[in-house]
Amino acid sequence: MPVITFANTKGGAGKTTAVLLLATELARQGYRVTILDADPQHWISRWHEISGHVANISVIDFVTTASLPQHISENKQNTDYFIIDLPGARNPLLATAVGLSDHVLIPIQGCAMDARGGAQVLELLQYLEEKAGIKIGHSVVLTRVNSMVTTRALQLVKALLNERHVPVLDTAIIERSAFRDIFDCGGTLHTMDPMRVSNLDKARENALCFAEEIIRKVPGRLPVAIRLANAMVRAA
């Protein structure tokens, strides 16, 4: 059961939106997902509250530095993926979560402030590797990208990441109204009404591509339904 942490020490980088898109798409594919909501804004917990039951998703709220390892230990038997949503700030929880992670995703918008927040996470990852010999897989995911225009700021961020050999996901998260509306409506992209939400089909496709790229990078335990089907085939 891989642990994936979303981290950027600057708030407003699209971190929580990326968490929700990945979690709901993994759950739709049958994976059991536990979201550890350590963000003091509690957007994921609020979304979960207004959504009611969402199949294959559990949310644990008020996660702290002390409670994080315990939550993972207690829920590992009923979870295929843990996803941690960290605060948009630099605090002790960052180092704890990163140390427990199989992969760290760093959301960055096309702006210098987001890049600096992401750089602090990258510096921590580098420090752990150089000083403690702990190498943790990580990637940058570009967020709130304009589907029509590549801004000069985004080009500069991409160039900087390339210069520093920082891995960047092929799938960027596009700026879509559906990604904002889901926090107000609850549910998932697949329970929203396409007659009331513009470009919902493109939003769903974007979320699917994002999740599939993460699954390739960080393979999780097969969904329960697939494991049962495989067991039946072996037993036949």
> Which sequence spans correspond to the domains of the chain?
3-235
CA-based nearest residue to 170, from 111, 211, 125, 123: 211
158 close to 114: Cβ distance less than 8 angstroms:
no
Tokens of 195: 């007659």
Q: What's the pLDDT band for 225 if we cut at 50, 70, 90? A: low
| Residues 127-150, mean pLDDT to the nearest whole number | 84
What pLDDT is attached to residue 119?
Answer: 83
Tell me the CATH number for domain 3-235. Answer: 3.40.50.300
Answer whether residue 9 shows pLDDT above 90.
no
Tokens of 185: 């409506």
* pTM reported for the whole predicted model: 0.89
Residues 6 or more apart whose Cβ sits within 8 Å of residue 96: 65, 68, 69
What pLDDT is attached to residue 205?
Answer: 96
Query: For residues 46 and 82, what is the distance between their CA atoms, to the nearest angstrom?
Result: 18
